[in-house]
Structure 1
Amino acid sequence: MKRVDGHIHTPFCPHGSKDSFHEYIEKAISLQYTHLTFTEHAPLPDGFTDTTPDRDSGMAEDEVSAYFEALDELKDEYKHRIKIKSGLEVDYIEGYEKETADFLTRWGHRLDDSILSVHFLFFQNKWDCLDYSPEVFRSMIENYGSANSVYIHYYRTLLKSIEADLGPFKPNRIGHITLVKKFQKLFPASKPFTNEIGQILKAVAARGLELDYNGAGVIKPHCGESYPPKDIIDRAHSLGIKTVYGSDAHSANAIGQGRDVMKS
């Protein structure tokens, strides 16, 4: 039976662990996974300044070739034990669509699979990485006026990412569509944003895209649910949208995280 983890980070992640590729792969094999996609954070687009303190949200572009070469070797080494795909998690940065498309044009021929995610939001001349920390999210609420306003802006930006023209190598899977809920136990919104989610799902379905069914939120102490939760996954399936489990592992031991309480 096919068992997939479609969202895994690597030792190339500047904010993750230095666990080796082999540690990730052997952990996955021990959990009876049959297919893996490594999706390291792609370099942020040219001209964009990372707002995180260490500016470590993505690889440097001069590391990308070595990343793909390492994966090519692993594909061959493990070809009789597990199927490995080369991927990236690409940030959608509003206003940097051309730069992102240019990057994908340079590297898209090396991709077997990829994810498009929103981490950064722009409001009142300020960029924020919304999932970086509770403190950053609190400052966003102060700037935006309410938690609801942050949620609305996130979902609007996510919809723009789905609709954006990023060229022929645009990722086919949309990452953790409810990432804005990472700190929901600290900063709850007052409504479920059913209409906004509905628009997003319709746009995904219309374009034949997939959704990342992400287990990381399950183990985040201030979230406690998958990104997105099961009710949204059910709505996605009713529209014919394919969902792919992703651990979003940043260490080998995180392979499979959340999956025991997720229904896929």
Structure 2
Amino acid sequence: MKFDLHTHHDRCGHAESGIRDYIEAALGAGMNVIGISDHSPYFESTEDHPNPRTAMAKSEFPRYIAEVLRLKEEYKDRIEVLLGLETDYFPEHMELHRKVYSQYPFDYIIGSVHWSGGIKIFDRKRWKGLTPEQITEHKDQYLDLIRQSAECGMFDVIGHMDALKANYPSLSQVPSKVLDEVLKVIAERRIAIEVNTSGKTKECGGWYPADDILERALYYGVGITFGSDAHRPDRVGDEWEQVRLRLKEIGFKEWVFFRRRQKQIVTL
């Protein structure tokens, strides 16, 4: 059973091609399940499309839902298409987003922290001039936001858990005071973390999260899923088999995907 829960398309403004192209790429990659999870609009904004290079417009959201559901039906005899979404975690706006999302038949929702301390996590400049103590504070502040996102009860999957290291690879060597507590909360809430293979497109050059976090996740009983975070159709399912084998080496016996917000267990 091959699945990929994390894909984007051209509505978000920074991905290539349309939804159908990702489904066809999944078929070509031998996938059994493909999740469509484009970036949620910023519903808290008074503007329809405040960040056209980041997320889809509010006016596009119903059309996104309708297109995925239509393609789900069209492809049902060839591949299972899941209706998903990736949304930023902004604590002050989550209740508004919860009300909007509750109107639609999502299979799963990915919660991702893209901003921490008011700065984008991929911003290289955030690290300039910081002391080792301040770098540790940045890391723990980011991880604490992930903890909060798990506690909010809105997400099925935590997206790219240590992506703060993307353009600062040595962050992986910085110890964290809060990581274990974050993983405990994720496990208690029965949420999955994804192994996200898009880290290869950043300076860190590896998956999110790193092996040491996956080992701790196994210890605490955290569920694992797979997401390529594809922004081009040719990255759908990227390194799926390598991830599967590595998870088995670490000691995982299973991983999961979600259908109608219910966890589906797949043997590794």
Under a length normalisation based on structure 2, what TM-score does the superposition of the two structures give? 0.81
Residue 121 of structure 2 is aligned to residue 130 of structure 1: yes
Which amino acid in structure 2 is aligned with residue 110 of structure 1? P
Equivalent in the alignment of 2:175: 192
Which amino acid in structure 1 is aligned with residue 136 of structure 2? N
Alpha-carbon offset, residue 70 of structure 1 = 0.8
- Equivalent position to 1:152, from 116, 124, 140: 140
1:141–1:149: 8 Å Cα contact kept in structure 2?
A: no
2:136–2:175: 8 Å Cα contact kept in structure 1?
A: no
2:5–2:35: 8 Å Cα contact kept in structure 1?
A: yes
Gaps of 5+ in 2: 248-268
Distance 1:47 1:11, change over 3 A: closer
Alpha-carbon offset, residue 102 of structure 1 = 3.0
**Across the two proteins, how many residue pairs are aligned to each other?**
242
Residue 30 of structure 2 is aligned to residue 32 of structure 1: yes
Alpha-carbon offset, residue 94 of structure 1 = 3.1
Residue 109 of structure 2 aligns to a residue in which SS? strand
Distance 1:142 1:149, change over 3 A: farther
Distance 1:223 1:258, change over 3 A: farther
**Distance in 1 (alpha carbons) for counterparts of 2:46 and 2:213:** 32
Distance 1:159 1:141, change over 3 A: farther
RMSD: 2.4
Residue 238 of structure 2 aligns to a residue in which SS? coil
**Distance in 2 (alpha carbons) for counterparts of 1:55 and 1:150:** 28
**Identity between Structure 1 and Structure 2 (%):** 25
Alpha-carbon offset, residue 231 of structure 1 = 2.9
Equivalent in the alignment of 1:164: 152
2:13–2:53: 8 Å Cα contact kept in structure 1?
A: yes
Equivalent in the alignment of 1:16: 15
Residue 100 of structure 1 aligns to a residue in which SS? helix
Under a length normalisation based on structure 1, what TM-score does the superposition of the two structures give? 0.82
Equivalent in the alignment of 1:254: 235
Which amino acid in structure 2 is aligned with residue 139 of structure 1? R
2:72–2:82: 8 Å Cα contact kept in structure 1?
A: yes
Deviation sequence 1:111-131 (CA, Å, 0-9, x none): 111101100123xxxx22212
Alpha-carbon offset, residue 220 of structure 1 = 2.4
Distance 1:141 1:20, change over 3 A: same
After TM superposition, the structure 1 = structure 2 runs for residues 1-264 of structure 1, keeping only pairs within 5 Å, are: 2-17=1-16, 19-47=17-45, 55-105=52-102, 107=103, 109-122=104-117, 127-131=118-122, 136-139=123-126, 141-142=128-129, 146-164=134-152, 170-185=154-169, 188=171, 191-193=174-176, 195-217=177-199, 219-262=200-243, 263-264=246-247
1:13–1:58: 8 Å Cα contact kept in structure 2?
A: yes
